[in-house]
Amino acid sequence: MSKIEQLINNKACDLWSVHPDTSVFEAIKLMDEKGIGALLVLLDGNLVGIFSERDYARKVILQDRSSRSTLVKEIMTRRVFHTFPEQSIEECMAIMTQHHIRHLPVVEDGQVIAMVSIGDLVKDIIKEQKYQIEHLEHCISWSESY
Protein backbone atom coordinates (compact mmCIF):
# COMPACT_ATOMS: atom_id res chain seq x y z
CA MET A 1 0.00 0.00 0.00
CA SER A 2 1.52 3.29 -1.13
CA LYS A 3 1.80 6.19 1.25
CA ILE A 4 1.32 9.89 0.56
CA GLU A 5 4.95 10.45 1.54
CA GLN A 6 6.10 8.29 -1.39
CA LEU A 7 3.80 10.10 -3.78
CA ILE A 8 4.97 13.59 -2.79
CA ASN A 9 8.62 12.53 -2.89
CA ASN A 10 8.12 11.56 -6.56
CA LYS A 11 6.13 14.66 -7.51
CA ALA A 12 7.02 18.28 -8.01
CA CYS A 13 5.48 19.79 -4.90
CA ASP A 14 5.29 23.49 -5.58
CA LEU A 15 2.85 25.03 -3.15
CA TRP A 16 0.80 27.87 -4.53
CA SER A 17 -1.18 30.02 -2.18
CA VAL A 18 -2.96 33.33 -1.86
CA HIS A 19 -3.82 35.64 1.01
CA PRO A 20 -7.52 35.78 1.97
CA ASP A 21 -7.67 39.42 0.79
CA THR A 22 -6.54 38.54 -2.75
CA SER A 23 -9.12 39.26 -5.44
CA VAL A 24 -10.73 36.24 -7.04
CA PHE A 25 -9.50 37.53 -10.40
CA GLU A 26 -5.86 37.46 -9.24
CA ALA A 27 -6.33 33.99 -7.75
CA ILE A 28 -7.84 32.63 -10.98
CA LYS A 29 -5.03 34.29 -12.95
CA LEU A 30 -2.43 32.52 -10.76
CA MET A 31 -4.22 29.19 -11.14
CA ASP A 32 -4.19 29.64 -14.92
CA GLU A 33 -0.48 30.56 -14.97
CA LYS A 34 0.43 27.50 -12.88
CA GLY A 35 -2.01 25.11 -14.55
CA ILE A 36 -3.64 24.15 -11.26
CA GLY A 37 -7.22 23.79 -10.05
CA ALA A 38 -6.91 25.00 -6.46
CA LEU A 39 -4.90 27.29 -4.21
CA LEU A 40 -4.15 27.16 -0.54
CA VAL A 41 -5.39 30.23 1.34
CA LEU A 42 -2.82 31.18 3.97
CA LEU A 43 -2.94 33.85 6.65
CA ASP A 44 0.33 34.39 8.52
CA GLY A 45 1.49 30.98 7.31
CA ASN A 46 -1.62 29.22 8.61
CA LEU A 47 -4.03 27.35 6.37
CA VAL A 48 -7.41 29.10 6.57
CA GLY A 49 -9.05 27.76 3.42
CA ILE A 50 -8.82 26.44 -0.11
CA PHE A 51 -9.92 28.30 -3.21
CA SER A 52 -10.85 26.10 -6.16
CA GLU A 53 -12.31 26.31 -9.63
CA ARG A 54 -15.47 24.86 -8.11
CA ASP A 55 -15.67 27.77 -5.65
CA TYR A 56 -15.30 30.18 -8.56
CA ALA A 57 -17.94 28.50 -10.69
CA ARG A 58 -20.51 28.17 -7.94
CA LYS A 59 -19.92 31.31 -5.91
CA VAL A 60 -18.87 33.88 -8.49
CA ILE A 61 -20.20 32.91 -11.91
CA LEU A 62 -23.53 31.44 -10.79
CA GLN A 63 -24.12 34.29 -8.34
CA ASP A 64 -23.20 36.91 -10.96
CA ARG A 65 -20.45 38.40 -8.79
CA SER A 66 -17.43 40.32 -10.04
CA SER A 67 -14.18 38.38 -9.89
CA ARG A 68 -12.25 41.67 -9.66
CA SER A 69 -14.11 43.00 -6.62
CA THR A 70 -14.81 39.71 -4.80
CA LEU A 71 -12.13 38.63 -2.34
CA VAL A 72 -11.00 35.03 -1.95
CA LYS A 73 -12.02 35.04 1.74
CA GLU A 74 -15.63 35.71 0.71
CA ILE A 75 -15.98 32.51 -1.28
CA MET A 76 -13.18 30.13 -0.27
CA THR A 77 -13.89 26.74 1.25
CA ARG A 78 -13.19 27.15 4.95
CA ARG A 79 -13.59 23.55 6.06
CA VAL A 80 -10.33 22.08 4.84
CA PHE A 81 -9.80 18.34 4.98
CA HIS A 82 -6.16 17.30 4.97
CA THR A 83 -3.88 14.28 5.10
CA PHE A 84 -0.52 13.31 6.57
CA PRO A 85 2.58 11.86 4.88
CA GLU A 86 2.08 8.46 6.55
CA GLN A 87 -1.51 8.07 5.35
CA SER A 88 -2.17 5.60 2.53
CA ILE A 89 -3.26 6.57 -0.97
CA GLU A 90 -6.40 4.47 -0.50
CA GLU A 91 -7.32 6.31 2.73
CA CYS A 92 -6.90 9.65 0.94
CA MET A 93 -9.07 8.46 -1.94
CA ALA A 94 -11.75 7.55 0.60
CA ILE A 95 -11.57 11.02 2.21
CA MET A 96 -11.80 12.76 -1.15
CA THR A 97 -14.66 10.56 -2.33
CA GLN A 98 -16.62 10.87 0.92
CA HIS A 99 -16.34 14.67 1.01
CA HIS A 100 -16.54 15.27 -2.77
CA ILE A 101 -13.24 17.15 -2.90
CA ARG A 102 -10.44 17.11 -5.47
CA HIS A 103 -7.52 18.55 -3.52
CA LEU A 104 -6.02 17.53 -0.20
CA PRO A 105 -3.29 19.46 1.61
CA VAL A 106 -0.58 17.32 3.21
CA VAL A 107 0.22 18.52 6.75
CA GLU A 108 3.27 17.69 8.84
CA ASP A 109 4.00 19.26 12.22
CA GLY A 110 1.15 21.71 11.71
CA GLN A 111 2.49 23.02 8.38
CA VAL A 112 1.30 22.33 4.84
CA ILE A 113 4.13 20.58 3.00
CA ALA A 114 2.32 19.58 -0.20
CA MET A 115 -1.03 19.32 -1.89
CA VAL A 116 -2.26 16.25 -3.73
CA SER A 117 -5.07 16.08 -6.23
CA ILE A 118 -7.41 13.27 -7.10
CA GLY A 119 -5.45 13.00 -10.37
CA ASP A 120 -2.20 12.45 -8.44
CA LEU A 121 -3.81 9.63 -6.48
CA VAL A 122 -5.33 7.97 -9.54
CA LYS A 123 -1.99 8.11 -11.39
CA ASP A 124 -0.26 6.49 -8.41
CA ILE A 125 -2.86 3.73 -8.16
CA ILE A 126 -2.59 3.01 -11.89
CA LYS A 127 1.22 2.92 -11.63
CA GLU A 128 1.02 0.47 -8.70
CA GLN A 129 -1.49 -1.73 -10.53
CA LYS A 130 0.70 -1.76 -13.65
CA TYR A 131 3.68 -2.84 -11.55
CA GLN A 132 1.64 -5.63 -9.94
CA ILE A 133 0.39 -6.85 -13.32
CA GLU A 134 3.92 -6.92 -14.75
CA HIS A 135 5.15 -8.78 -11.67
CA LEU A 136 2.36 -11.36 -11.97
CA GLU A 137 3.01 -11.79 -15.70
CA HIS A 138 6.69 -12.38 -14.93
CA CYS A 139 5.80 -14.97 -12.26
CA ILE A 140 3.41 -16.74 -14.65
CA SER A 141 5.93 -16.83 -17.49
CA TRP A 142 8.62 -18.06 -15.08
CA SER A 143 6.40 -20.87 -13.75
CA GLU A 144 5.36 -21.90 -17.27
CA SER A 145 8.98 -22.31 -18.32
CA TYR A 146 9.49 -25.04 -15.68
pLDDT, tens only, 14-59: 899 999 999 999 999 999 999 999 999 999 989 999 999 999 999 9
Taking only the tens place, the pLDDT of each residue in 64-95 is 999 999 999 999 999 999 999 999 999 999 99
The pLDDT tens digits of the residues spanning 95-105 come to: 999 999 999 99
The whole-angstrom separation of Cα 122 and Cα 125 is 5
Distance CA 110, CA 42 (A): 13
Nearest to 73 by CA among 42, 45, 99: 42
Chain mean pLDDT for the chain? 91
CATH code: domain of residue 115:
3.10.580.10
- Residue range of the domain that includes 68: 4-144
Q: How many domains does the chain have?
A: 1
